Amino acid sequence: MKLHTLGLTALLACSAAVGAIPRAAAVGGDSASTLYYPPAEGAWDTVSPQAAGWDTGGLDAALAYAGAQRSSAVVVLHRGRILAERHWKLEPNPDDPQDRVGRMTTARTADGHAVEDVASVQKSVLSFLAGIARGKGLLDFDAPVSRYLGEGWSKATPAQEAAITVRHLLGMTTGLAIDGSHQTPPTGKWMYNTTVYSRLVQVLERASGLSVHEYTRQWLTDRVGMRDSRWTPRPWATEPGAGDANTIGFSSSARDLARFGLLVLAGGSWNREDVLGDGRYLAEAFAPSQPHNPSYGLLWWLNGQANTMSRGSKVAGPLIPTAPADLVSAQGALTRRVYVVPSLELVVTRIGDQPAGDFDDELWRRLVAAAPKRGGE
């Protein structure tokens, strides 16, 4: 059965079988095929807030808030059409002598808008690419990482390495420390470990026989028109004190990220073409990867769970209490975001500089207040 006939709702519903909470969603049945898909070239259709049932003043207030919080761009899609879009020119931030947003702005679109290294949003992109690789029969999530990288890819013993699977990389449950040494058996703990995660780039290269640039372009960006998206070097990642930063980043624009979110909203299909090719991936990606942090799936963040992990500590309540429970998101440093909300048929992207710590909550409080009211609300 093709993904476009399933839609994201059915896939998320199936995820209950692998431990996810049931998720309300509006995209289901054949409706994924009725979404609007922007062309690779030319104008992107828009829809007015009034026509979509949104409160115009409330939506404007949400966007004004984002602009005041040092966003460089926000794009809001409703059923694939642009409901709202704003771009801002950021002045240097006197509170950030490292000028992180400046050094992470890697290019400009043809319209002059920012193309930025989207930080750990790349993790969700790479997770989706892993799903494509599995759909092509190139990758086994439950195979040891050493099948693809050989022995010695970490500081663990060969026996310890043999217990670490691709799925553990995707779920941040390898049991390895930041430096790659053994701490616990896999799934014994959840730890956000960018250094170890980054081995997934090489896993996909070995599995596919393609460079990260080639498989990303062939499998994803060319297929959905992400013309401003590519992997770019991070010279600053090799500087002293850079910590666990990857030396390569995924650079994208707010519109390109919105294309990626729309692809996810559509269950992995694009204009009736099955891009994902793996009917199991979304259900698994959007289910908790382990019990320690149920708000984390396979390199995706999940709302609507009982608790989440923040700075190594468990916090009661969902990831974003003010947002719909079915929201899933790709999240990166400086609060780069791709939010996908099936129940609202919505994709929201945000890039820019570091906002206030409660940005997610405050943005979604405003968006939900402006959104069409559903039955019983």
Q: Give pLDDT, residue 238.
A: 64
248 burial via Cβ count (<10 Å: 0-12, 13-18, 19+): middle
Quick one: tokens of 119?
């930080």
pLDDT tens digits, 212-240? 999 999 999 999 999 999 999 998 776 55
Alpha-carbon dihedral of residues 232, 140, 193, 336, nearest 10 degrees? 50
H/E element holding 350? strand 346-352
Q: Give pLDDT, residue 312.
A: 80
Classified as helix, coil or strand, 132 is helix
Number of C-beta neighbours around residue 283 at 10 A:
21
Domain layout of the chain by residue ranges = 3-370
For residue 375, give every residue at least 6 positions away whose Cβ sits within 8 Å of its Cβ, in sequence order, or none: none
pLDDT interval class at 24 (50, 70, 90):
very low
For residue 104, give every residue at least 6 positions away whose Cβ sits within 8 Å of its Cβ, in sequence order, or none: 116, 117, 119, 249, 334
CATH code of the region 3-370: 3.40.710.10
Q: Which amino acid type is present at position 55?
A: D
Quick one: tokens of 103?
């050094």
pLDDT tens digits, 267-320? 999 999 999 999 999 999 999 999 999 999 999 999 999 999 987 889 999 999
pLDDT at 5 over 70: no
**Poorest-confidence range of 84-98, 184-198, 228-242?**
228-242
